Amino acid sequence: MNRYEINELYKDFFMDFLVNIRDIFTKNDTLIHKARNELKIVQHSKYTTVVKSFKVPNIINKIVYTFFRDSKAKKSYTHSLKLKEFTPMPIAYIEFFKFGLLNESYFVSENFNYDFTIREPLLDGNFSSREAVFRAFARFTLELHNDNIFHNDYSPGNILIKQEGEDYIFKIVDINRMKFFALSEDDRAKNFSKLWADDEILVLMADEYKKHCVCSENFTKQVLYYSNKNKKIKNLKKRLKGQEVND
């Protein structure tokens, strides 16, 4: 038994691909990420796709995702449709069931051929056009917020960037934990907190954001407050686990 949905734009090309995705994924060796979930680049027909295989849930989550909540694969797909131009184009998702419960699940999107993530300019003080990247990123973040989008994991590895001339195209990934609501100024400031950026960079981003948004004078202070609060919480957790702490 399986359950799936295919974007209307791709129905003529991906039905067989989707049904056989487990074998296709297993035989493909173009791995781009492996942790709890696994991502591979898979070529199909004229399309270069990214296929995300989600970790098989434990028995409790199998029951939850079968009867009470959408699976991570389905949320990734439906959220991508809502996000439109902010994320790589969604193609499909599929869920496979075993003994009547969710077992394996996959999300397929078109590959976004990005040049770097926001992590590189954050860490490299000599990165080319670093300030221009940060200012463009602040404007992109404002676009998300004005469209009532709050990325609950707005961290460096989930922000992809492609440079075209002097312009930058941004796409966000890892989107099954998105929230959609009218953001307050507090929410907007809080959404910068997981970047783990230096205060100087955050001030630059916040100032660029304020140029294009009606914000209070306290907005930059709020951005710094939530960033430093997040760092303290994460560093405390690392200390309790005996891990190295980052400033």
Within a domain: residue 156? Answer: yes
Closest CA to 109 of 4, 7, 2: 7
Within a domain: residue 239? Answer: no
Closest CA to 24 of 42, 37, 36: 42
On whether both 222 and 146 belong to a single domain, the answer is yes
Q: Mean pLDDT over all residues of the chain? A: 94
Is residue 238 over pLDDT 80? no
On whether both 38 and 93 belong to a single domain, the answer is yes
Q: Which of 80, 110, 140 is the last residue of a domain?
A: 110
Closest CA to 119 of 155, 144, 87: 155
Within a domain: residue 64? Answer: yes
Within a domain: residue 126? Answer: yes
On whether both 148 and 164 belong to a single domain, the answer is yes
Query: pLDDT tens for residues 53-69?
Result: 999 999 999 999 999 99
Q: Which of 54, 78, 110 is the last residue of a domain?
A: 110
Q: Which of 110, 136, 154 is the last residue of a domain?
A: 110
On whether both 120 and 216 belong to a single domain, the answer is yes
Within a domain: residue 246? Answer: no
Identify the bridge partners of residue 92 per DSSP, sorted by sequence position: 6, 108
On whether both 6 and 66 belong to a single domain, the answer is yes
On whether both 89 and 182 belong to a single domain, the answer is no
Answer with the residue of higher pLDDT: 138 or 176.
138
**Structurally, how many domains does the chain consist of?**
2
Q: What percent of the chain has pLDDT over 70?
A: 99
User: Which CATH number fits the domain that encloses residue 183?
Assistant: 1.10.510
Within a domain: residue 236? Answer: no
Contacts of 207 by beta carbon, 8 Å cutoff, 6+ apart: 220
Query: pLDDT tens for residues 172-194?
Result: 999 988 999 999 999 999 999 99
Query: pLDDT tens for residues 6-33?
Result: 999 999 999 999 999 999 999 999 999 8
User: Which CATH number fits the domain that encloses residue 54?
Assistant: 3.30.200
Query: Whole domain around residue 67: which residue ranges?
Result: 2-110
200-215 core/surface letters (b: 16 or more CB in 10 A; e: else): ebbebbbebbbeebeb
Strands 149-151, 178-180: pairing kind:
antiparallel
Structure tokens at 184: 């307050």
pLDDT band at 247 (very low <50, low <70, confident <90, very high): low
On whether both 75 and 98 belong to a single domain, the answer is yes
